[in-house]
Each structure stands twice: as C-alpha cells, then as structure tokens.
Amino acid sequence: MNILFTCGGTAGHVNPAVALARIFQERNPGCRVLFVGADGGMETRLVPKEGYPIQTVTITNFHRSLAPADIAHNLGTLVNMQKSKKQAQRILDEFQPDLVVGTGGYASFPVVKEAARRHIPTAVHESNAVPGLTTKALSKVVDCVMVGFEESRAHYDNPDKVVVTGTPVRGDFFRYTREEARKQLGIEDNRPLLLSSGDPWARR
C-alpha cells in the first residue's frame, strides 16, 4: 500500500500528517509513505527529521492587495499553479498512491486535486475549527473531510463527507509522565508550562 501525505506552511499541518503516517505504518508494516510539500517550506526540514522522504511542488499564495508588487506576485502564483499541477502529475505517476491525504497548506491543493481527478481515494484533515482556504476548496472534490471539532461540520458544503476525528498526535506525547516530559524538555525546576489548547497535556 502506498500512501501520500501532502502538507506544509506550519508545523500544525505537518505534525498531524506525521502522526497519521506512523499509525498507518504500525498497522500496515509494509506500506510505503511519501510526503509532498512546497519548495522551501519548513516541511522540507521537518519531514526528513522524522525519517520520511519528501518531494516538493512550486506553489505560492495570493495577496489580496492591489499594490503593484502584490499584483506581480499574484501573476507569479498563477504561473506556479500550472507548474505545480504538472509536478503533482509527475509525482502521482511515479509513486502510484493508493490513498492521498492533505493536512493543509498550499502544497496540498495541486496534489489532492489531481489525485481526486484520477479517482484515487482522497481525504483532507483540518485541525482548526474554521477551515483554511485550501481545505475548504478541496472539500468539494475529496472523498472524506476529517475535522477536529463537531462544530466544524457547519463550515462545509457537504456535511455528510465530514468525520470528526480530532487531531492526530504522535505516540511520543503519551509515552512519558509529566515529570519525564519536563526532563525531555530540559526543564528541571517547577516553572509553569504554557500549553496550547491542542496540547494533550493541557487536558490532563
């Protein structure tokens, strides 16, 4: 089984994809995993550290300003959209995925959309309560939309596609006691830790 994950832009997009990849490999030891990100994105550094191969597409965002520099940027983005489409086609031809999962970031768009066009099973995951532009656009073409919150269902045009999964986290988060986790972080005193609402320690 070949599974392609596409993500980027922030660690909040990359980490759920890595967690899912680990789960798939634990349950299907023979499955192959490939990541796809954006040229120069932080995912090109984070993903190899987790032991996974990554390929990239050339993709940029749109600026809403009408300033000359922003208009020029947007014209470049239109060119990059065509370039990334061809790159996505090549990656899919070579890897032949059985499943494509996007977890957010602009790099997800050309890869997931092309996979859906080819009728390859596709899914997107959105950790935020309000979907990002990429996830919202792809929700119209994928087979399944995974979300972190039940309240998110109302933001999608086809609620029947939506499955509430929560946000996947790596098993490392659950292998340590609070004291062991503090030592791993190099914190030996009793200073308080500032936790995000998505941090599993915040719910303990």
Model confidence over 97-148: pLDDT tens digits?
A: 999 999 988 899 999 999 999 999 999 999 888 888 889 999 999 999 999 8
Separation CA 100–CA 92 (nearest Å): 9
Rg (CA), the chain: 18
**Total count of residues recorded for the chain:** 204
Interacting residues of 5 by C-beta distance below 8 A, sequence separation 6+: 17, 20, 21, 33, 34, 35, 36, 100, 101, 102, 103
Backbone angles phi, psi at 126, to 5 degrees: -125, 115
**Kindly report the CA angle at 117 between 74 and 99, in degrees rounded to 5?**
105
For the chain, which ranges sit under pLDDT 70?
Answer: 168-186, 189-204
Is residue 52 within 8 Å of 21, Cβ to Cβ? yes
